[in-house]
Amino acid sequence: MTVDPGDRIHFQDWGGPPAAGGPGSEAGRGVILVHGLSQTSWVWAQVARSLAERVHTVAMDLRGHGLSDAPTEDGAYDLDVLGDDVVAVAEGSGVLDAPDAAVVLAGHGFGAIVAVHGAIALGPKCAGVVLVDGGWESMEVSTGVDVDEFLRGLDEPPEVMGSMRSFLRDRAAFDSRTWDADQERAARATVVETHAGRVVPATRPHALEASVRAMFGYEPLATLARVAAPVVALVAGDDDTGSRGEALTAASMARVGAGLAAIQVVPYDAAGHNLMRYRPADVTAAILSLTD
């Protein structure tokens, strides 16, 4: 689909059950899935497939990622712009076509931040937000580095990028038990194989930098206090739960102070950041809990 001023945003429509009487569930609720930094919509494949049995499910490629355009204009990756892309996908995919339709937004990492801005832009058309291991904390505080140092640390080791085989072997080694065809396809979508046999990141460098700078400019307390819909946070257990937990508590209290419901927190012990890979059934259940 195309958004102003002519940028194309790609999404995958996983469909929904015919019994739902059209897009979304019987309650008229669908789901938009937003991937994280340097990923694509394929990272949601297992979750999306399960969701589509119950609700109309769409996974989008953020601008500069996957098959979406990568504009070069200043401000093209501002969080409000990315949030408007979410709204455009919700409208253009037909998820909001049903009477009284509303959409649940689920975002992973950086995608959680985008989902929050999409929820604000959607207003009453947003039925809930699921923050999948991100979206509630200041990046500079949580990482302990500034944006430029963070950008310098994004490069993969040369041996990992030496070939597609090396790259996939590295990704599989994160957890061989959860490596399958879905994970391989998601990994392949993040790189491009050169004629020399090496792989390079598929995310456009200018888009990656602009996205990271937008991510570091995110103000979680003020922003989450503007989301009227219920918010659920899924927290991976292998991260620093001390400072992250404090940030989550502060974000929840900011919502309460604004007269909104506290954030519902669901922790996952001994699980990595990519909860869609390590806990797909749980992520699916958390999203579905907001579609009832």
For residue 11 the two structure tokens come to: 């999404």
Q: Tell me, what's the pLDDT at 1?
A: 75
What CATH number is given to the structural domain containing 207? 3.40.50.1820
For residue 162, is it within any domain? Answer: no
**Cα(33)–Cα(48) distance, integer angstroms:** 8
For residue 193, is it within any domain? Answer: no
Q: Tell me, what's the pLDDT at 22?
A: 45
Give the list of residues 6+ apart from residue 233 with CB closer than 8 angstroms, or none.
130, 131, 135, 136, 248, 263, 264, 265, 266
Q: Tell me, what's the pLDDT at 19?
A: 54
CA 129 to chain centre: 11
Three-state SS at 52: coil
For residue 163, is it within any domain? Answer: no
pLDDT over threshold 60, residue 214: yes
pLDDT in tens, 131-167: 999 999 999 998 999 999 999 999 999 999 999 999 9
For residue 253, is it within any domain? Answer: yes
Residue range of the domain that includes 261: 2-145+203-288
The enclosing H or E element of 141 equals: helix 139-143
Whole-angstrom Cα Rg for the chain: 18
Could you tell me the sign of the dihedral formed by the alpha carbons of 253, 266, 59, 29, in that order? negative
pLDDT over threshold 80, residue 236: yes
pLDDT in tens, 75-119: 999 999 999 999 999 999 999 987 889 999 999 999 999 999 999
For residue 194, is it within any domain? Answer: no
Give the list of residues 6+ apart from residue 44 with CB closer than 8 angstroms, or none.
33, 35, 59, 108, 276
Per the structure, the count of domains in the chain is 1
Q: Tell me, what's the pLDDT at 39?
A: 98
pLDDT in tens, 158-167: 999 999 999 9
